[in-house]
Structure 1
Amino acid sequence: MITEVIFIISLLAIGLVFTGYPLILWWYGRHVTRLQPVSEQELSQQSMPLVSVLVAVRNGEALIRKKVENALALDYPAEKLDVVIVSDGSDDGTMAVLNAIQSERLTALDLGQHLGKHEALNAGMQHCCGDIIVFTDADAELEPHAVSQLVRHFQDDRIGGVGGQRVIAEQQGSLENAQSTYIDADSKVKQLESVIGSVTANDGKIYAIRKSLFKGVAAAVTDDLYVCLSVLSQHQRFVFEPQARANIKTPSRNSDHEISRRRRIVNRSLRGIWLNRKVLNPFYSSFQLAAGLLINKVMRRLLPFFLITLLLSNLALISSSVWLWIFLLPQLGVYGAALGYWLLNGKSFPVAIVQKILSLCFYFVIGNLGTLLGVVDFLRGEQPVRWEPKKSD
């Protein structure tokens, strides 16, 4: 009896995360009135707010000049946009590059020692002149109209934050297709959430908030989710704008990088959720937001445990009913495909669609392995404060 209960709970949890939640959002979104933000063309010179682009960087000598040039060239009134770059104790030539750039709109700071991204962002905020703060990373190239697309949403006083869309524009590594598929699926969920209320997550490559809502970034958290939850905790909406695009390279270069990256993100994001746990209370925020955060941010991080219990309980029950093979075979297929991709060791399968399926299954498995390790780290109380981003030019 206990085995059957474990099997059913695991199956329902996995189904809710992957298909149930998106379907609920889609159905509910059909019955609400969609509020359209003003168009980019409707924004007048007078109504455009002051904007500061804030970047924290650690050893970004190869990237930072291009990043500053990209930010200063954005299609937004020059007199209404400034750029603040904070070096988190970089020990390469990052500050030398920044100091050589001649622009009155650029403020370059050096923390002097390696304190962590949160300290860099908190320090940089003190030098931002804008009413709207656009957060972005050193390796993200913002498209010309990205800031305008974000800013137009702030004409609505109920909106406190806007997340943009990251796009893999340059392949680096063997998992590019799998990661693009994941990003596309995640973006569709954000669009559905945004229609009915607020997103439950945003992307650190490009997002913006009202400066008045910034309450600081805590140590050992993912700044994008933490800031998003902070805005939501102040009863402001956080929406998604897919036309505000940031072009990036493939986030994970290889399987080891993906596992370590996912492990770090999951650990830090769970800490950020814990520190903002009042948003999970439907009586404090809303039922839609609390339920969305529970499903999309908490249960999603528990997927590795549900996947393990589903497989083990399915194997234990398989002799009791032939119908249980319907659930077991897809699981074995996914894990078998992931193993096949690993055995190929970087070699391409001759049939493209098979190659794509194998890479998706492999990415799914290693992603959940990284997630499992991240949850364990969180439960053990590990709080990594410093960061050593793996980026290149």
Structure 2
Amino acid sequence: MTAFYYILVGLFAGLSFVVFYTYLGYGLVAWVLVKLRGNRYQNSQPAELPHVTMVVPAYNEADYLPAKLRNCLAQDYPADRLHFLFVVEGSTDGSAEFLARQEIPNLRILSGSQRLGKIAAMNRAMSEVQTPITIFTDANTQLNTEAVSRLVSRFTEGVGAVTGEKRIQMADAESAAGSGEGLYWRYESFLKKLDAQLHTIVGAAGELFAIRTDLYEPVEPDTLLDDFVISLRIAGRGYRVEYAPDAYALERPSHSVGEEKKRKVRIAAGGFQAMKRLAYLLNVARYGWLSFQYVSHRVLRWAVTPFCLPALLLLNVLILGVLYVGDTQIPAGAARLWWGMLGAQVVFYVAAYVGYVLENRQTRLKLTFVPFYFVFMNWCVLLGFARFNRGNLTGVWEKSKRAA
């Protein structure tokens, strides 16, 4: 019985380390490595600004198009070198008609009666792009006026793609879902800065990212995470994916927990789909730093840690059960330690549940929204895994509602 106890303790310690490393440890390791190695990558403005095409997939986004178009035209990039390509295929809300009425020389519209999904729209758009740099941005986001200039400035030698920063635009009284989403993206931005300084970003933000046009590879039509797959495939070809936090896209938080759940389950299913298609990046002997960053920042978070959390709770209960068998060779006082560990887990999950209840009542409590959002994200990963295993994934999905 003593040996079984120590096996359980070893498993508990191992899984605890995985959870810690995934959410905090990797950030610490990356920070130390950056301090030891230094940031070897310097940015410089190109001698001549290249022509750039902004591709905006916009299915039934008529409510956002006027503001998006004004935002695109307000960019401080030279107007004669900035081109716009709006893809509105399948839209039934007058998007194509609105854009057709605009007298903008560098504006092109791709439309059609059939909705084939965002990926098919992007593949179609890329066959039309003739500029050396392509920037993808969503119709429902607003960019800072320097966004294009700052993305372009990062395209130094060896850089194949550049991602901007996603920022969540929240009012003071936003829901817990919005608050958690904002906190999550602030931490993600911190990690991306470290990733870029260490070697490369492992996943672009679909709201705003740029690539060298000639590096684009058509993406499978059923792909759920196009930004992630496109950027990682470019990194896998030996190019760096740079980070431009001073080029950002503002987006409103999800309308409700239900809408955020819908979005995160789809992202999680897309994560498992992407990991299957990008399995070759696990070859550390070939991909080196990229493999290390990919596993540490993505694979553990998507494919390992969410399964560790319920396992830790179960292991804690099993350990207490072994202790009460009465084996005198187990150190005295161990029971107090493991009751304390179980109590800490229970308190954390109770706080998460309270956060969930308060969210449904449109009330936010800072002490509960962090555990709520943490548990919520990992629960969505488990649901996403189930969805991935069911198959029948499609690149055509229902859009999640955003807060007004």
Scaled by the length of structure 2, the TM-score of the pair is 0.89
SS of the residue aligned with 2:287?
A: coil
Question: Is the CA contact (8 Å cut-off) linking 2:159 and 2:242 kept in structure 1?
Answer: yes
Deviations 1:100-137 (A, max 9, x none): 11111111111421111100001111222321111110
Q: 1:71 to 1:64 in 2, by over 3 A?
A: same
Whole-angstrom distance in 2 between the partners of 1:277 and 1:111: 35
From 240, 256, 262, give the equivalent of 1:237.
Answer: 240
- How far off its partner does 1:201 sit? 1.7
| Structure 2 counterpart of 1:17, one-letter code | T
Q: What residue number does 2:389 align with? A: 379
Q: What residue number does 2:267 align with? A: 265
Deviations 1:307-354 (A, max 9, x none): 0101111122135322224433332222111111233332546xxxxx
From 346, 369, 379, give the equivalent of 1:359.
Answer: 369
From 14, 19, 24, give the equivalent of 1:19.
Answer: 24
Confirm or deny that 1:323 pairs with 2:337. yes
Which structure 2 residues correspond to residues 1-393 of structure 1 after superposition, within 5 A?
Answer: 1=4, 3-35=8-40, 37-38=42-43, 42-44=45-47, 47-154=48-155, 156-171=156-171, 173-221=175-223, 222-250=225-253, 252-286=254-288, 288-301=289-302, 302-318=304-320, 320=323, 321=334, 322-344=336-358, 345-348=360-363, 355-391=365-401
Of all paired residues, the percent bearing the same amino acid is: 28
Question: Is the CA contact (8 Å cut-off) linking 1:56 and 1:120 kept in structure 2?
Answer: yes
Whole-angstrom distance in 1 between the partners of 2:210 and 2:340: 45
Whole-angstrom distance in 2 between the partners of 1:273 and 1:150: 27
Whole-angstrom distance in 1 between the partners of 2:130 and 2:66: 21
- How far off its partner does 1:38 sit? 3.7
Whole-angstrom distance in 1 between the partners of 2:91 and 2:140: 15
Question: Is the CA contact (8 Å cut-off) linking 1:53 and 1:135 kept in structure 2?
Answer: yes
Question: Is the CA contact (8 Å cut-off) linking 1:255 and 1:366 kept in structure 2?
Answer: no
Query: Can you give the 5+ residue segments of structure 2 that lack an aligned partner in the other structure?
Result: 324-333
Question: Is the CA contact (8 Å cut-off) linking 1:232 and 1:279 kept in structure 2?
Answer: no
Deviations 1:194-244 (A, max 9, x none): 111011122111111111110112223211101111111111001211101
| Structure 2 counterpart of 1:226, one-letter code | V
Whole-angstrom distance in 2 between the partners of 1:88 and 1:270: 28
Deviations 1:347-393 (A, max 9, x none): 546xxxxx112112212222211111111222333412212223467
Query: Can you give the 5+ residue segments of structure 1 that lack an aligned partner in the other structure?
Result: 350-354
- How far off its partner does 1:173 sit? 4.5
- How far off its partner does 1:94 sit? 1.3
- How far off its partner does 1:33 sit? 3.0
Whole-angstrom distance in 1 between the partners of 2:9 and 2:392: 35
Question: Is the CA contact (8 Å cut-off) linking 1:220 and 1:268 kept in structure 2?
Answer: no
Whole-angstrom distance in 2 between the partners of 1:97 and 1:281: 49
| Structure 2 counterpart of 1:90, one-letter code | S
Whole-angstrom distance in 1 between the partners of 2:93 and 2:222: 24
SS of the residue aligned with 1:55?
A: strand
| Structure 2 counterpart of 1:213, one-letter code | L
- How far off its partner does 1:170 sit? 4.1
- How far off its partner does 1:163 sit? 0.9
Question: Is the CA contact (8 Å cut-off) linking 1:68 and 1:83 kept in structure 2?
Answer: no
- How far off its partner does 1:5 sit? 4.3
SS of the residue aligned with 1:259?
A: helix
Whole-angstrom distance in 2 between the partners of 1:281 and 1:330: 38
Whole-angstrom distance in 2 between the partners of 1:309 and 1:27: 30
Question: Is the CA contact (8 Å cut-off) linking 2:176 and 2:355 kept in structure 1?
Answer: no
Question: Is the CA contact (8 Å cut-off) linking 1:53 and 1:133 kept in structure 2?
Answer: yes
Whole-angstrom distance in 1 between the partners of 2:88 and 2:133: 21
Whole-angstrom distance in 1 between the partners of 2:275 and 2:221: 13
Whole-angstrom distance in 2 between the partners of 1:94 and 1:325: 60
Of structures 1 and 2, the larger Rg is shown by: 2
| Structure 1 counterpart of 2:92, one-letter code | D
Q: What residue number does 1:352 align with? A: none
How many aligned positions are there?
381
CA RMSD of aligned residues (A): 1.9
Q: 1:291 to 1:379 in 2, by over 3 A?
A: farther
- How far off its partner does 1:177 sit? 1.8
Deviations 1:48-68 (A, max 9, x none): 111111111111110112212
SS of the residue aligned with 2:382?
A: helix
Question: Is the CA contact (8 Å cut-off) linking 2:41 and 2:197 kept in structure 1?
Answer: no
Question: Is the CA contact (8 Å cut-off) linking 1:58 and 1:388 kept in structure 2?
Answer: no
Question: Is the CA contact (8 Å cut-off) linking 2:269 and 2:387 kept in structure 1?
Answer: yes
Q: 1:325 to 1:219 in 2, by over 3 A?
A: farther
Scaled by the length of structure 1, the TM-score of the pair is 0.91
